[in-house]
Structure formats: structure tokens, C-alpha cells
């Protein structure tokens, strides 16, 4: 199985996100007070943990499904993929990075997560065209059944 197929649009999304991540880390080091979320407060710690735990589970579950199904040339339609078209990108961008950042007392995770999400929205349609070409009607039927296709 070619790594390019497993990665999908991830390489382009990563390249899109990397400058924001590097700049964010540099500014976070140079101006740490500007990035603080206030401790984080106890409430934010709990909210972050409550969202982060399922976010990590969804992320790992998505990776496992990719590693198992893609080499078999199977369309993934179960688990997190029944909820959103791209749970790996969406999960990391919205459920892992922001909340992990808050636990580290920085809103940098939120910024990077939003940029990653924007990158996924920018490059995912290219990946979806390839999936439509490969899987045809199966892909069309799958898209109709996804609970939150816009995420």
C-alpha cells in the first residue's frame, strides 16, 4: 500500500498548517502572556478533558480504520466515518488540538486547530473526487448517510 494513498490530503493539509504552527510556537515563546488562557481555570480543565478524551479515541479509531480498510481497498463507512466524512482531520482539528492546548494553558491549540480545519475544508474536496472516482455509487450512497457531512 502506497503511503500517499493512506495519507490522502493529509500532506497538503499539513503543509498548509505548518507555517501557522511554527509562527504560533515562536510567538508563544516570545510573548507567552498573550497566549495564556488563565491557568487554565478548573472549569476549562474539565471541559477540555471531557472533549479531549473522545477526541483522542475518535482520532485513534479513525487511524486504525484507515490502516485496516485502505490496504484492502475498502471504503470506510463505519465508526467515526458514519458521523463525518473526514473524522481524522475534523477530530484532530476540533476535538484534540484546541482542548489539549487549553490544558497546556495556551490558546495556540485553538488557532492551529482552526487553521488545520480550514486546510481540511480546502483540500478534502480533492480527496473526495478521488474517492468518488474509485468507489462510484458506493461513495455517493455513503455521502448520503453521513450524519454531519459538512463537518
Q: 44-80: b or e for each residue (b if 16 or more CB lie within 10 Å)?
A: beeebeebbeebbebbebbeebbeeebeeeebbbeeb
For residue 17, give the nearest of 121, 146, 139 by alpha carbon: 121
Q: What is the mean pLDDT of residues 45-53?
A: 96
User: pTM of the full predicted structure?
Assistant: 0.88
Is pLDDT above 60 for 57? Answer: yes
CA distances from 18 to 22, 134, 137 (A): 6, 30, 35
Do 110 and 97 touch, CB atoms closer than 8 A?
yes
In a domain, 30, yes or no: yes
Q: Does residue 150 lie within any of the structural domains?
A: no
How many structural domains comprise the chain? 1
Angstrom CA distances, 108 to 93, 100, 124, stand at: 12, 10, 23
What pLDDT score was predicted for residue 1?
Answer: 52
Average pLDDT score, the chain: 92
99 located within any domain: yes
* Domain housing 137: 3-145
Cis peptide before 77 (omega within 30 of 0): no
Amino acid at each position: 500500500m502506497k503511503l500517499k494513498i493512506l495519507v490522502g490530503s493529509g500532506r497538503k493539509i499539513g503543509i498548509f498548517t505548518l507555517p501557522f504552527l511554527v509562527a504560533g510556537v515562536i510567538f508563544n515563546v516570545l510573548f507567552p502572556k498573550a497566549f495564556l488562557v488563565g491557568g487554565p481555570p478548573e472549569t476549562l480543565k474539565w471541559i477540555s478533558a471531557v472533549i479531549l478524551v473522545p477526541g483522542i479515541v475518535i482520532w485513534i479509531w479513525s487511524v486504525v480504520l484507515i490502516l485496516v480498510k485502505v490496504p484492502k481497498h475498502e471504503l470506510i463507512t463505519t465508526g467515526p466515518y458514519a458521523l463525518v466524512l473526514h473524522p481524522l482531520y475534523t477530530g484532530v482539528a476540533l476535538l484534540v488540538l484546541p482542548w489539549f492546548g487549553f490544558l497546556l494553558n495556551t490558546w495556540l491549540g485553538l488557532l492551529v486547530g482552526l487553521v488545520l480545519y480550514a486546510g481540511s475544508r480546502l483540500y478534502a474536496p480533492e480527496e473526495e473526487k478521488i474517492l468518488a472516482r474509485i468507489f462510484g455509487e458506493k461513495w455517493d450512497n455513503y455521502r448520503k448517510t453521513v450524519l454531519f457531512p459538512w463537518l
